[in-house]
Structure 1
Amino acid sequence: MSIFSSDTPTSGDLIGSKSSVGRRTFLRFAGISSVSAMALTTLACEDHRPAPLNGAVDLGAGDVGIMNLAYSQEQLEVAFYSQVVQTPYANISSEELAFFTDLRDRERTHLELFKYLLGDKAIPMLTPNFSSVDFSSRESVLKTGHTFEDLGVAALNGAGRFVTDMELLALSGKIVSVEARHAALLRDLLHPKSQAMGFAGDDIITTDTGLDRAFLPPQVVMMAQPFIQQKISAERLPKA
C-alpha cells in the first residue's frame, strides 16, 4: 500500500493516532519534491542493510544507518506526541493542544519521508517505553518533549558530517532546522522569558562555538535507549 494514500494509517505499536498523512500534506511539509532520484538510488544501492546483531535492532552502516538513526528518533517523537494528544494533561489549553497536534503531524511527515527513502532498508517499527513520563503533568510532558527535540537536533548535527550523499545531507539540514524550532517552542512554553533555559538555552549551546550540540550516533542511541523497549545498536556507525 502506498504511503501517499490519503486513508493509510501509520502502522505499528509505536503510533496510536488514527489520523494519516495525505499525499499533499506529505509533499508540502516533508519537502519530498526536492529530493532527487539520486538520493533514492543511493540508499537503494548501498550494501549497508540493517542485520540482526546480538538480539538488538541494528541501524546499519553508511547513509542507511544514519537515516535509520533519524528514523528511530522520528518514531519516538511521533509516539510521544500521539500519546500527549490522546491523553492530554490536566487543564491543557486549546492553544497548547493545537501545538501538540501540529507537532505530531509535522513529525509524522518526517517519519514517513525517512520510511519512503529507506524502503526495505528501514528498521522495523519500535515500541516506546514512556514509563518515566507523567502524561498528566504539563511540566513532565514539556520537559520530555524538548528533550526529544533537543536530542533529534544533536543527532542530525553530529551525524551530518558522515553523510556521503549531498541530497540526503541537504534534506537532513532542512529537517534539523524544523526540529530546532520545535525544541524552541517547547522550551519557551516551559520556561517563558528565560534566557538561560528558554528558546536556545545555555544547556544546549556549546560554549566554544555558540552552536547547538552535536552528538555521535552511539551517544544518541545511549540517550534514547531508556525510551525504547527494543535494544538499539549503532555498532556500525561512526564513533568518532
Structure 2
Amino acid sequence: MSTPTTTPDATERPDSRRGFLRLAGVGAAGSAALFLTACGDDDDSSSGAAAGTTASTTEKSSGGSAEGDLKILNYALTLEFLEADFYKKAIDADLFKGAELDLVKKFGESEQAHVDVLTDTIKKLGGTPVTAPETTFPLEDRKSVLELAATVENLGAAAYLGKAGEIMNPDILAAALSIHSVEARHAGALNHLLGKKPTPDGAFAKPADEATVLEAVKPFIVS
C-alpha cells in the first residue's frame, strides 16, 4: 500500500512570506534567540544575562553571530530593491505586450515579494533595513530591456551564491537559497527568451563576490 502524501500548507512554504520567516527562524522559539542576539536588552541585569545566554546559544547553533547575517540580508535587500524597481519601470515604459508583459509583471511581483520578506526578516532579527536606493535604467526598447533583465537576474543569482558560504545561521541560509532558486529560474527563462543558453556557466553556476556585484549595479544607482 502506498503511503498517502500531504500537501504542505502554503503558509509553511519558503516561497510565501510566512514560510520564509519560518525558515529564517523568526516564527517560533528561534525568533527570540536571534532577536535577542541581534539587539539585546539593557533594561536590567537579569535581562542582560538572559540575552547573553541566548547569544551564546545562538552562536553555537549557527556557527557565528547574527550580525554578519544581518549585513548579508541587507546586501540582498539592496539588490532586491534594484530588481523590483527595474521591473516597475520596465512595465511603465510600455514596451511589452501579451505573454511577455505577463512574464515581466510576474517577475516584478516576485522581486517585490523578496523585498517585503527580507525587510520583515531584518526587522524581526532586530536589524534596520537599508533604504531603497534611487535608481535609473536604460529602457529604450524591448530587446535591450530583456537583455538587461537577464543580466540583472543572472547577477542576482550569482550574488546569492557568492554569499551562501558566509551565512552562519542554517535556517537563514535555507531561506536565502529559496530566493536564489527563483532568481536563477528568472535568469534561465530570460536567457531562453533571448535565444541564449539557460545555464550559461554549464553544469555549475559561478558565484560573484560582493565587490563585483556592487560595481556592476553602480550605473543603475543615482548617486
* TM-score of the superposed pair, with normalisation by structure 1: 0.67
Aligned residue for 1:211?
204
Q: Which is greater in Rg?
A: 2
CA distance in 2, matches of 1:40, 1:220: 33
Aligned residue for 2:37?
45
CA RMSD in angstroms, aligned pairs only: 2.3
Q: How far is the alpha carbon of 1:212 from its aligned partner?
A: 1.1
Residue 199 of structure 1 aligns to a residue in which SS?
coil
Alignment of 1:52-91 (within 5 A): 62-89=68-95
Pair 219,185 (structure 1): closer, same or farther in 2 beyond 3 Å:
same
Q: Which moved more, 1:105-114 or 1:115-124?
A: 115-124
Pair 27,155 (structure 1): closer, same or farther in 2 beyond 3 Å:
closer
Aligned residue for 1:9?
none
Q: How far is the alpha carbon of 1:98 from its aligned partner?
A: 0.4
Q: How far is the alpha carbon of 1:200 from its aligned partner?
A: 1.0
Aligned residue for 2:181?
177
Structure 2 regions of 5+ residues with no counterpart? Answer: 1-10, 40-66
Residue 107 of structure 1 aligns to a residue in which SS?
helix
Report Cα offsets for 1:203-239 as digits up to 9, x if no partner.
Answer: xx17xxx311101111211111111124xxxxxxxxx
Work out whether residues 160 and 169 of structure 1, in 8 Å CA contact, stay in contact via their aligned partners in 2.
yes
Pair 117,44 (structure 1): closer, same or farther in 2 beyond 3 Å:
farther
Q: How far is the alpha carbon of 1:32 from its aligned partner?
A: 2.7
CA distance in 2, matches of 1:154, 1:44: 31
Report Cα offsets for 1:110-167 as digits up to 9, x if no partner.
Answer: 110110011242111111121xx1x241111111101110111111101110000111
Runs (4+) of structure 1 exceeding 2 A deviation are 26-47
Counterpart residue type for residue 128 of structure 2: K
CA distance in 2, matches of 1:44, 1:98: 42
Counterpart residue type for residue 37 of structure 2: C
Aligned residue for 1:199?
198
Aligned residue for 2:16?
29
How many residues are matched?
Answer: 177
More helix by share: 2
Counterpart residue type for residue 144 of structure 1: L
Alignment partner for residue 126 of structure 1, among 126, 133, 140? Answer: 133
Q: How far is the alpha carbon of 1:28 from its aligned partner?
A: 5.4
Counterpart residue type for residue 34 of structure 1: R
Report Cα offsets for 1:173-200 as digits up to 9, x if no partner.
Answer: 1110110000011111111xxxxx3311
CA distance in 1, matches of 2:73, 2:32: 12
Work out whether residues 85 and 97 of structure 1, in 8 Å CA contact, stay in contact via their aligned partners in 2.
yes
Q: How far is the alpha carbon of 1:39 from its aligned partner?
A: 5.8
CA distance in 2, matches of 1:127, 1:27: 29
CA distance in 2, matches of 1:223, 1:136: 20
